[in-house]
Amino acid sequence: MEIDHDKIDEAVLALLWLTLHDGCLAWKSFDWDATDRLYQKGLICDPANKTKSVVLSNEGLQKAEELFKALFTRKP
């Protein structure tokens, strides 16, 4: 089985949107490799720090909301 890291990154980004607080902060309790890839893609700030939250970029916020709705909501 080959893991599709892009799909994992999309799911993690969508779940970051679920945990948003204070505008663009999200709890960073996800796999370090996935958050590092999101950082490399410019969607979040550098996750390698002592804070418990990560800052989403404007692009990250928009994409996170789109992915959350696509992956985790039901169509009416």
Q: Could you list the pLDDT tens digit for every one of the 76 residues in the chain? A: 788 899 999 999 999 998 899 999 998 888 889 999 999 999 999 998 888 899 999 999 999 999 989 888 887 7
- Compute the distance between CA of residue 8 and CA of residue 28 in angstroms, rounded to an integer: 15
pLDDT computed for residue 72 by the predictor: 87
Alpha-carbon 4 to chain mean position:
16
Domains along the sequence of the chain with CATH: 5-72 (1.10.10)
pLDDT computed for residue 76 by the predictor: 78
pLDDT computed for residue 55 by the predictor: 94
pLDDT computed for residue 9 by the predictor: 94
